[in-house]
Structure 1
Amino acid sequence: MENKEKKEVQNKKITLTKNEIENKENIKNKENKKDKEQPKWGNLNYFNKFKLKNYVVTVISIILLYVVLNLTIDPNDIFSYTRGIYITILIFVLFSVSLNISVGIMGQLNLGQAGFIAIGGYSAAYISKILVNYHLPATLHLLIVSLFGGIIAAIFGFLVGASTLRLRGDYLAIITLAFGEIIKYIIQNLDFLGGATGFSGIPQGIITFSNVYFIVVISIIIVVMAMTSRKGKEVMSIREDEIAAENIGIKLNRVKLYGFTFSAFFAGVGGSLFAHNVGILAPDKFGFLFSIEILVMVVLGGLGSITGAVIAAVILTMLSEFLRDFSQFRYLIYSIILIILMIFRPKGIFGTKEFTFHETKQRIKEIRNSKK
């Protein structure tokens, strides 16, 4: 009897161990399936969490926003104040997103973004005055000169990136700051660009709210697609840890050149839109403070967050406009508000995260579950 009981106990132990092994294998298989289903770099790529429904909702939202904003503009008023504010906000959104590529996503402190904007703006304005004689459609005209300004700025971005490959931190900031100031003083001494008096006669009739809106939206979509691609993850790895990135086989020099060139290109496109919006370019506008103004937008929105850069640019541009009546106290109030925001939200509005419909749904569900 005792032997039978011992055998039964041993059989039970064997069956238990078999079941445990099977359960562990099932759990591992499920985890492997989940890893295969999830895209690589999934935790870093918030935009890849979009589903087809979310893409459709995003497109509809972009179109609805355009329709709503367009309805608030008086079509009969050529010098519409509302149109001017909308265009200014869109241009600064593009400035902020372009700087966020090099500073936020790549983690390289760039204080010379005003120089790239100036190069793009002056290049586009110079070509635009020549293209006026060909009587091209307004949108096509603006698109051509914007691409030209972006390409010229990208070339200079490549050269600056190539000359600062071994620099980082404060040293890189000083070099880029020097670049911005050098560009400003070179333009001041070029007579064919108007010199210190400014470059005037830039065609303003080609710029409208519609073409600026869609150029900016398409530019942001391209930035999002590029920065969430494999190349974009390489750019992001430099921000996280350069040594670790180099050890896993990422070629830092190529990636840095890519980041600087990409950032400068969209700064040049924004500079082209800016030039045609204001109608006259003065070298003094593209100084150190202009770069800092854009950098503040990036920091406020969150370093590395594209949607944060967009929202911060909208908030600060509108805030600057609302404080125009208090011109003597405008920068004081502006600074106090920024200090308060940085104290209570040091990582910026979004930090390194992005706004997506997928994340918003999850947060709403979490709030509802917590209330229950």
Structure 2
Amino acid sequence: MPDAQPSAENVQGTLTKSQVLVMAVLCALSAASLYYSQVMVEALAHSFGVASSATAWQSGLSQAGYVLGLIFLVPLGDRFEKRRVIATLALLSGCALLLAALATSFPVALLAAALIGLFATTASLSIPMAASLAAPTRRGRVIGQLMLGLLSGIVLSRLIAGIVTETLGWRAMYGLAGVCQFLTVFLFVRLMPVAAATTKERYDRLLVSLYALYRSELELRTAAWRGALLFAAFSAFWATFSLHILAGTPSWGAITPGLFGIAGGIGALVAPVAGRLADERGPHTTFLYGLYCSLAGLVLLLSFDASLAGQAVGIVVLDVGVQMAMVSNQTLIYALQPAARTRINGVYMIVYFAGGTLGAGAALILWQRIGWTGVLAACCGLALASGLVHWLTRKRQPQHALP
């Protein structure tokens, strides 16, 4: 990299709007890549001659790949210069998206889905990097802005994928996503400062340190498990929502489930607000706000199953809650051990996405056996379990813990 590039140490607390923007876009593209397939189920099934339920497993493979990336790739962000690591993984993500676009058989498409998940971990490296560059008093706001990008990528991915799949085909969606990834990497390398490694530990010791961090930090375990259970509910909902909608009206096609992404996109706007709340009122209090919203959204979805408007409102409230909880959890963990922020985030996201993967897989089984009402009931149970984890761990925390 050019020697004239400023270092992260020199720009801490001076993160510019353009730098935050390009990191938010990179987070959005990385997160979105995990979810395109959720509205492509019928198109992929027709293209490869398999059952719709089989293509729905692509989402689960992507999330499983993401968990593996969190374990084996994210620790590299503490060991090597962060900008270079992020750019390399983002380029590999673009290549995986192009592989998906060119897949000639279903096994190749499944392999591409796993690789897309593996290299989508750039978001889990970008947010800790931004947290290190931001001033402590603005950390929650900066995290909120990047989370707005990440969560907008998740919810709007379904809308964009639905439109492109219906008009140009699913291969065009993956190809377009790959090109966008390459362009964003170029801007990222041009705008971001060099961010030096924070440890010289060997790679194998870094992997071992993930468990040590998990064991030593009660706040990390609290955030990870309450987040994982809530994200399991969120993933269970979205893994089967397309199947639910298209089962009622198959002629609607991929674009209809995607249109509900607009509702989720509205909910994503709360992320910066959640960051400010976490700075001002504390991450634990903000998490409770998110939990209550999530439960309210699920109750609305259960109560207004026959109403498209009711479903849209329920999705907005659910997404607001999940995003508020996510921002509060990440604000909490980034206050721990600055030299290990990337690995701490990695531990958090390993547990978080393991919850999402299990939630999505369980939802597909529930959908096949007891239907949509059973899926939503399970989602409510997972959200309540998240609240139980919060309550039990807060009782164990000392009085000087964060509010």
Q: Normalising by structure 1, report the TM-score.
A: 0.34
Structure richer in helix, relative to its length:
2
Larger radius of gyration: 1
